[in-house]
Structure 1
Amino acid sequence: MTAPNAELAAPEPQFGGTPVHLRLLALAPALAAEVAARLLDRLPAHHALPPEQLRGEITRQVERCVRAFVDVMRTGRPPGEDDLARIRESSARRADEGVPLESVVGAYHLGAQLCAARLLAEAAPADLPDIATAQDRLLGYLRVVSCAVAAGYVQERQAALGDEQVARQALLSRLLEGGDPRAAADRAGIRLPDRYVVLALAIGPHPDESRPGVNRSVAARRKLRRLRAELERSRPDGVPLAALAADGGTVLLPTSGPLDRDTLTALVERLGRACGAPLVAGATSAPPSAVADAARLAAEVRQLATATGRGGGLHLLDDVLLAYQLSRPGPAREALASLLAPLTDRPELLDTLRAFLACGLDRRRTAARLLVHPNTVDYRLRRTTHLTGLDTVRGPDLLTLHAALTALDTTGT
């Protein structure tokens, strides 16, 4: 039976009869200085670090890594837990400083590359088997170290993102509550904009959410993740704030100018394509101090657009002015809605009336929308007139029917 680490029992590689680790040990001080210098030449992200940090912590970490590489060459064993812990800690500090992950990983690969180049320069053709052994140990070293670098970096970024998200959600809550948001904005590191565009979103289901064999909650999370990613890409004026669930929520978009319908329409279309689900969005804008009222208005606009059958996409208050006014609580709304009480047990009559009004009083278009014969439309409209006393072809009665249907559909919105 082969021992688990039998491959580590291979003899230490030698070049010209001298163990490789001894050659590396002799070169270690010069290699550490060279790697630190090359970091600036080949990895521009390190230019942002303070010079004393490059001379101090970074150089010391390079020296430790060179010595760890020396031990790998000598023993054939990967770096120990103490070395890997230091690598994870160093990587976490680079994450906190904003150095990109590819630059952090690249620094270790650059160091290994320079070490290998120095060693191979002293190798001869007769050392080919030892070169292969050294190469194998080099790759094993990079594999373990790269994993440690990624682990330290990702852990730090997750912690930072968690803190950042908590601070952003606190700011969003403050804005939606109507309190003074300045302290919360300072804690989140966000400069409050002149105004916010407030979007109230209703998000329909993605096809995967009803597909057999697919985890519905996973499909919903993926839908939201894609939507949030598109929001992050569409933030020319600052950091968007969002409270979203699978079926919708509120989004605040910083802006320095007036609400632009064309721009918002394009954004809602992109969000819909990104998440792969139908969207209905009510929108308005307000300064930070008035976001709470604006959010309520945007939600009402979205609800009214849905209740009155306006379809998906972007909707502003101007689009639902009549419905908005008719939906205000009061005796007039209740009286209007009661005009259609005789139809509440005849949903086909209500649906036909809605379609007839939406199709501009065109009975053939209404029939096509309802998938019925035009004569069926005529019959249902006559029944509506008989039951309500309101004639669907008489001007004043049509206005009353439209208002009554709007009041009925918006009751409780």
Structure 2
Amino acid sequence: METEIPTAWPVLRRMPDLAALDGPTRAAVVAAVDRLRESRDVFTDRYLALVRLHVPSYAGLSDGELRSSARRFMDVMLSELSSLRVPDAALREMLREYARERAARGIPLDDLALGYKLGSRAMLSLLDEVAVDVALPSDFLLAVHDSTWEFANEAAAIFAGVQHELALERVHFDAERRSAFAAGVLSGIIPAERINHDAQVFGLTPQSHYVALAARFASADEGDTVRRAVASAVGVPADRLLITRVGAVIGFIVSRVPESVGDHLVAVGPPLPLDQLAHGFEEALLTLETARRFAMSGVVRLVDLGPRPLVLSQTRTAEGLTARHLAALKTAGRSSTEIEGTTRLYLECDQDVGEVARRLAVHPNTVRYRVNRFQQLTALDLRRTEDLVISWWLLNRRRE
């Protein structure tokens, strides 16, 4: 059985230092550069023929533009060859600017990389012809080939990097447009005519009903988690959601109510046409702030809150009643917190002493004692409906 002998790749030849060349080789390099300059029109003709054949997207560029690009390319190559200089940062920046200019003209940057390689191919082919006439050493010629193709690959990487940068810029611009539209709709500052006109740009139907969502995030990571959960629930890619920041709140415009967002809190407004969605967002904000006050989580609607939104209303009235009834709790000293917390839980548990005792891990008589002390200190009788409502309202306004 014959043993297969692995084939070794040839060693990459590096361009030598110009000062290290012997006299005949240096003279051959100078002669080669001069001959290439004299052959500029030959190169531009060959380059033009190649790109017309292999790069269809260049059809929008005139022959004059392509010849001008070819001449600039040749000038750079000859400058590198004449000094045996390794391509520097300035050349790379020039390629980045060139790529952005071509991208603005609608040229795919993959085609730009192909065009660059075709230019390198035409230049090296011409150099091979000249090398014979000027007796350029073969080792030197191979080093030029290796260096040229190595940088052609680097140029392709530069173009790919620019393509990635442009893609990110487009995504950022699109996100900004979506955010501005969502902010205008949810805050009610965009006229109905403009909303209906711009809606189609974002894939929305003006006649359809949409839902406003509101949420607060403690961190960017939490916000990203909720955004993805909402996107998944409504069947929209996360980067296509209409989402914006309104003050300290994040607002969403979605086509339907998400079923679940995990343990996070997302408040939901009613389904409304786009030009009325600002009213829905106001309801979502009230729902959000109320649900946060009561430490709720999940997807919450206003109808889920019962009388809880009343806790946030009538600040002046609440201040007067607090001063009248709850100020006396301070006289209980450190136990005032226990009295207040136990009474609030007692009301939340529909006055079920056993349930309150279980939750607080105390004896039922302790619950009864604290509730009785609350009534004594505040002069609020929890057997009377009005006093019970006032107690529930004031105690829940004080919770944080």
Same fold (TM over 0.5): yes
**Residues 123-147 of structure 1: per-residue CA shift (max 9 Å, x gap):** 99x9456434432344346546754
1:295 corresponds to 2:281: yes
Distance 1:286 1:109 in 2: 50
**2:367 aligned to which of 377, 381, 401:** 377
**2:50 aligned to which of 31, 34, 40:** 34
Distance 2:241 2:251 in 1: 11
Distance 1:374 1:10 in 2: 98
The offset of 1:22, in angstroms, is: 4.2
Amino acid at match of 2:396: D
Distance 1:324 1:150 in 2: 53
Amino acid at match of 1:295: F
Distance 1:6 1:128 in 2: 10
Distance 2:17 2:223 in 1: 47
The offset of 1:300, in angstroms, is: 0.5
Point out where structure 1 has 5 or more consecutive residues left out of the alignment.
Answer: 41-45, 207-219, 270-277
Q: Quick one: percent identity of the two aligned structures?
A: 19
**Residues 201-259 of structure 1: per-residue CA shift (max 9 Å, x gap):** 1222x4xxxxxxxxxxxxx5x665776687788636965040156xx41323242xxx4
Distance 1:229 1:68 in 2: 51
Task: Judge conservation of contact 2:242–2:254 (CA < 8 Å) in 1.
Answer: yes
Task: Judge conservation of contact 1:243–1:249 (CA < 8 Å) in 2.
Answer: yes
**CA 6–385 in structure 1, closer or farther in 2 if over 3 Å, else same:** farther
**1:169 aligned to which of 157, 168, 180:** 180
Task: Give the aligned partner of residue 244 of structure 2.
Answer: 242
Q: How large is the RMSD of aligned CA atoms in angstroms? A: 5.5
- Residues paired across the two proteins, number: 358
SS in 1 for 2:191: coil
Q: How does 1:9-408 map to 2 (within 5 A)?
A: 22=36, 26=42, 28-35=44-51, 37-39=53-55, 52-53=59-60, 59=66, 63=70, 66-67=73-74, 70-71=77-78, 72-77=80-85, 78=87, 85=94, 88-92=97-101, 94=103, 97=106, 104=109, 106-114=110-118, 119=124, 127=138, 130-140=141-151, 143=154, 146-147=157-158, 150=161, 154=165, 158=169, 161=172, 165=176, 168-169=179-180, 172-173=183-184, 175-183=186-194, 189-190=201-202, 193=205, 194-204=208-218, 206=219, 235=236, 240-243=242-245, 248-255=248-255, 259-262=256-259, 265=260, 268-269=261-262, 279-284=264-269, 285-309=271-295, 311-324=296-309, 328-329=313-314, 341=326, 345=330, 346-358=336-348, 366-367=356-357, 369-370=359-360, 376-388=366-378, 401=388, 404-406=391-393, 408=395
Distance 1:150 1:384 in 2: 69
| Higher gyration radius (CA) | 2
SS in 2 for 1:203: coil
